[in-house]
């Protein structure tokens, strides 16, 4: 029987991680994500690479970062890179992840700035962008289903999710007031579950 991969000191990756967490591996993951990020929609891709493919985090650890990256200032994907890097390898991991995320786009934009008109003249470019957008929407829907299954603890949690969706997605209400109301409600709903989990974990440890 082969031994589980050993992670770097300070790593918070689960013991069942399929690939060891190293600075090089972390940089490579976010480099390729950043290099092929067309028009956003990166959260599902980051989740696939970090949670599903490599097993560095669990959905329960990843999804709070998605929520934080949405409500904090800045670009969602770069916020998420900082969150994942910090969770896995501390402050230095956050720096490596954000540098990896920005390296590819930085170089690409320098090249694109010199060849902007020629790139726009390529007929297949618009079709390619439409295909990328369709794939991104599908990945977002998939991650949404996973988030509902992971975070939908009870009827009240589902009610909050639906209410936020209707308020922002359908009724077009301002984001900030909706978040200021929804976040305290979500915390109050989720708090008992966290207490029960800690009590259960303590009981298992004593056993």
**pLDDT higher than threshold 70 for residue 153:** no
**pLDDT higher than threshold 70 for residue 157:** yes
Q: Per residue, what are the HEC states of 16-27?
A: CCCCCCCHHHHH
SS3 12: coil
**How far is it, in rounded angstroms, from Cα 62 to Cα 55?**
11
pLDDT class of 181 with cuts at 50, 70, 90: confident
**pLDDT higher than threshold 90 for residue 85:** yes
**How far is it, in rounded angstroms, from Cα 53 to Cα 49?**
5
69 contacts 56 by C-beta, under 8 angstroms: no
pLDDT for res 9: 43
Answering whether pTM is above 0.85, one says no
pLDDT class of 187 with cuts at 50, 70, 90: confident
Q: Mean pLDDT in the chain?
A: 77
Percent over 70 (pLDDT), the chain: 76
pLDDT for res 1: 37
**How far is it, in rounded angstroms, from Cα 87 to Cα 33?**
18
């Amino acid at each position: 029987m082969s031994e589980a991969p050993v992670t770097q000191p300070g790593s918070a990756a689960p013991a069942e991680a399929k690939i060891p967490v190293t600075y090089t591996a972390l940089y490579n993951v976010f480099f390729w994500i950043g290099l092929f990020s067309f028009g956003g929609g990166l959260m599902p891709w980051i989740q696939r690479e970090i949670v599903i493919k490599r097993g560095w985090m669990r959905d329960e650890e990843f999804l709070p970062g998605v929520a934080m990256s949405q409500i904090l200032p800045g670009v969602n994907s770069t916020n998420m890179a900082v969150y994942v890097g910090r969770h896995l390898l501390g402050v230095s991991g956050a720096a490596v992840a954000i540098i990896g995320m920005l390296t590819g786009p930085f170089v690409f934009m320098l090249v694109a700035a010199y060849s902007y008109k020629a790139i726009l003249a390529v007929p297949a470019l618009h079709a390619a962008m439409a295909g990328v957008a369709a794939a991104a929407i599908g990945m977002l829907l998939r991650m949404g289903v996973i988030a509902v299954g992971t975070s939908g603890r009870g009827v009240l949690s589902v009610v909050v999710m639906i209410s936020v969706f209707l308020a922002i997605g359908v009724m077009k209400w301002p984001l900030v007031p909706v978040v200021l109301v929804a976040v305290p409600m979500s915390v109050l709903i989720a708090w008992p579950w966290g207490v029960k989990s800690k009590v259960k974990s303590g009981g298992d440890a004593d056993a």
